[in-house]
Chain A
Amino acid sequence: MASLEQFTVDRAVAPGDALDERAARRSLRAQVARLERELSHVVATGFPHVPASAARVADHGAGGPRLLGLAQLERERDALAGRLQDVRRLVHARVEHERRAHELLERMKLEPGRYRFVRLPVRDLGEGGCGVWEVRPRLGLIGMLAGWWQLTLSSGCPLPKGSR
C-alpha cells in the first residue's frame, strides 16, 4: 500500500550551525524515549507494589505541548533518569522485602514455636489475595500451655455471614 504523502509548510529558515544543535536534540529525544520505555516497563512490572504515580516527574509536564529546546530536553532527560533510579530503588526494596518475608516463612515452618502468633500476609510474599500465614496454638489453650504450635494459612477474607 502506497504511503500517504504529508505536505510540509516552510515557516522559518534554520540558521547554518543550528544543524549541530538539531542533532543534539535528536539524540536527547532518543534518550528520553529509551528512558520513558524503561520507566514504563519497571512501573508496569512492579505494580501494585510500585505505584503508577512513581513515574511522575515532579514539577513538570503540565505546561502545554510545545517544541522543546536543547536545555529543556536535557532537563527532561535528567529528570527521567533520576526518576528511573528512584523507581528501581523502590523495586529493589520490594524485592528485598519479599525475600526477607520468604525467609521468615521458612523459619516459621521449621520452628513455629519460636514465632508464636506471628502473622505474615501473603501479599508480603508477592502473592495475590488477602491470606495470612500465622503461627497459632494447636487445640487452643491446651496447645498454648503444652507448647504445641502450628503454622496455619487463613484465607483472610471475612465470611459472608460474619465470624462464627
Chain B
Amino acid sequence: MLARVANNLFWMGRYIERTEHIARYLNVNYFSSLDAPNQLSQSRQFVLRSMLFMIGEPEKDDNVVLNEEEVLYNIGLNPNVPYSIISNVKYVRENANSARDVISTELYESINKFYHFVLNYDVETFTKRGLYDFTVNVTEMTAILRGKIRGTLLHDEVYAIILMGLNIERATQIIRIINAKYHDALKAKGSYGDTIANSFEWVTLLKCAESYDMMRRFYKKTPNSISTLEFLILNSDCPRSVMNSLNQVHKHIRVVDQSKHPSKNSTSFLVSKVKAECEFKYAEEIEENVQGFIENILSNLVLIGNKMEKEFFNY
C-alpha cells in the first residue's frame, strides 16, 4: 500500500470517529442538562462552555455570555472552522477520495451520502430545532461507516490502518470527554452529599461514551467517580474504553508490522509499551491524579500518531 494512501486511510478513520464523538457530546450534554438535578448543570451557559471545552476551543473569559445558536452553528455546521462536524465530515470524504481505489464502492457510497447529508442540512433548522435529529443522524451514519469498513473491506493492512486511526482517535476522544466532564463535575458537584464523587455529570459522561447501559449492567449501581473512570479507562470488555482501544491498536499494528521482535524505535514497540502501562493501572491510582493521567495518556497517543507518520506515512 502506498504511504500516502495509508496516511489518508489513517486520517479517514480518525475523522469518522471524531465526528461521532462530537455529535454525541452535543446531543447528550444538551438534552441531559434539560432536566439535570442541579441548577448549574441545567444552565445553558454551563453546557455551551462544556461543549467548547470538549472540542478544544474553551471560552476562557468567565464573563462572556455565549450565544447558543452561534455556538451550535460553529460546532455543527460552520464550514470555516476546522473543528466543526461539517469540516470533519469533509475531511473524511477528502481522505476517502484520495484512497478511493483501495476502499470498497459500498464504503465510498456511504461516505458520500453522509457528506451530502451534512452539507445540505439547513443551518436554521439545526440551530433552532434540529439538534437532536442532526446529531442522531450523524452518529448513526458513522455507525454505518464502521459497519461498511468491517463488512466490505478485506481485513488486510488497509483495514488495519483504518482501524488504528479509528481506535487511536477513540481513545483520544474518550480521554478528552473524561477531561471535559471531570471539569464539569468539579464545578457541579453531586446532588447527593455534594461531593464530586457522586456528581450527576458521571452519568452524562457515560452517556457521551454510549456506555451507560453497559456500565449499569456491569456494576448494578449508580455511577460514581471511581467506577466511571475504571469502566471507561480500564475495562477492556467495554468497547469504548481506552484499554479496549489500545488493545485494538495493538492488534492492528501487528498486522502492519509482523516482525517478531519489534525494534525499540518502532510504532509497534511504543504501542505495546503504552498498552502495558495502562493494563497495570488501577482506578484509585488514577483518581489521585486524574489530570496527570489524562495528560500522560494524551501525550502517549500523540506520540503513537507521530511514530506512525514517521514509520509508515513517509512520502
A complexed with B? no
